[in-house]
Amino acid sequence: MEFKNLAGTDIKELLSVFNLSFSDYIVPFHLTEEQLISKINTEKINLDISVGVFDSGHLAGFILQAEKAEDGEKIIYNAGTGVIPEVRGKGLVRKMYDFILPVLQERNADRLLLEVIEGNEPAIRAYENLGFNVVRKLLCFRGNIILAKENPDIIVREMEGFQWENFLSFWDIDPSWQASVFVLDDILKECIILGAYRDTKLVGYAIYNRSSKKIYQLAVDKSHRKQGAGTMLFKAIAQIAGGSEVSVNNVDDMSKETFSFLSSTIGLKNWISQLEMKKNL
């Protein structure tokens, strides 16, 4: 077995190993080449700090990683770990981390971050043995939007860009990596940004991806909640989605208000949950 970074790895080989690794996952999924390239670009995966294990010259496992600096810290995000079934049980995830950790330390990394599906006990134990700790539970929702009572005093309009100063003032919780400001700033063209207004005042917003049917962020000003702003934003998203299912991923389960709104008011189902884990270096 040989361990090295993934710079220069053929995208078709990476795709094949990615799909084989996740074919029997707790939530099996399959990516096209276009979707894998989009994942690499949107999640800012850096193949220079990603690691692969090669068996007789062929890729057999990987850890895809991204990097950002935030609040004086350098954070390394694990955007996906996979090992093909034929070579499992050999401690290859630990060995890949053993290989890449000195590289990350040379880059002055402060923290490692990842998500793992709740209930995937082998993976959770493996990461705990590597020194990761659970920091929060993240809920994933999907389904068709059920429209509740509307408020005609709330007008929803499309916005031309991110107004982060306003948006952040509405937050109770921080988004996960895939919906972070760091990621979204680079995919503005893929996003529809909707603002909810009472008279001329912005009281809520949503960031939606038309192609993936994914809602990255939605928040309402604390002083204007339970007055229909969120419902009107979802009405606008339902119209854009044209009756298709939508998803809202990685909602911090500490926000009971959000859980109730998404499940009871909007009708989405919490179909799976993830654990966010971190390791300080």
What is the average per-residue pLDDT within 15-41?
A: 91
Query: What confidence category does residue 26 fall into, taking pLDDT thresholds of 50, 70 and 90?
Result: confident
CATH superfamily, domain 141-277, is: Gcn5-related N-acetyltransferase (GNAT) (3.40.630.30)
Beta bridge partners of 220: 204
pLDDT, position 14: 97
Encode pLDDT of 206-245 as tens digits.
999 998 999 999 999 999 999 999 999 999 999 999 989 9
pLDDT over 90 percentage in the chain: 91
Instruction: Answer yes or no: is pLDDT of 28 > 80.
Output: no
The three-point CA angle 202-173-273 to 5° equals 120
Q: Are 161 and 27 in contact (CB under 8 A)?
A: no
Instruction: Answer yes or no: is pLDDT of 261 > 90.
Output: yes
Task: Supply the mean pLDDT for the chain.
Answer: 94
What is the spatial order of strands in the sheet that 133-143 belongs to? 2-5, 51-55, 58-70, 73-83, 111-117, 269-280, 133-143, 246-252, 214-220, 201-209, 191-198, 154-159
The distance from CA 97 to its chain's CA centroid, rounded to whole angstroms, is 21
pLDDT, position 71: 86
pLDDT over 70 percentage in the chain: 100
CATH class of 2-109: alpha beta
Instruction: Answer yes or no: is pLDDT of 150 > 90.
Output: no
Cβ partners under 8 Å of residue 223, min gap 6: none
What is the average per-residue pLDDT within 22-29?
A: 84
Measured distance CA(81)–CA(63) in Å, rounded:
4
**Domain spans of the chain?**
2-109, 141-277
pLDDT, position 29: 83
Q: Which amino acid is at 184?
A: L
Encode pLDDT of 93-121 as tens digits.
999 999 999 999 999 999 999 999 999 99
- pTM for the complete prediction? 0.92
Phi (first) and psi of residue 192, to 5 degrees? -105, 125
pLDDT, position 149: 80
Cβ partners under 8 Å of residue 118, min gap 6: 137, 272, 273, 274, 275
pLDDT, position 193: 98
More confident residue, 163 or 28: 163
Encode pLDDT of 71-86 as tens digits.
899 999 999 999 999 9
Of the candidates 52, 134, 65, 59, the residue with the CA atom closest to the CA atom of residue 95:
52
The answer to whether the 2-109 and 141-277 domains have the same CATH topology is yes
Instruction: Answer yes or no: is pLDDT of 13 > 80.
Output: yes
Measured distance CA(25)–CA(117) in Å, rounded:
10
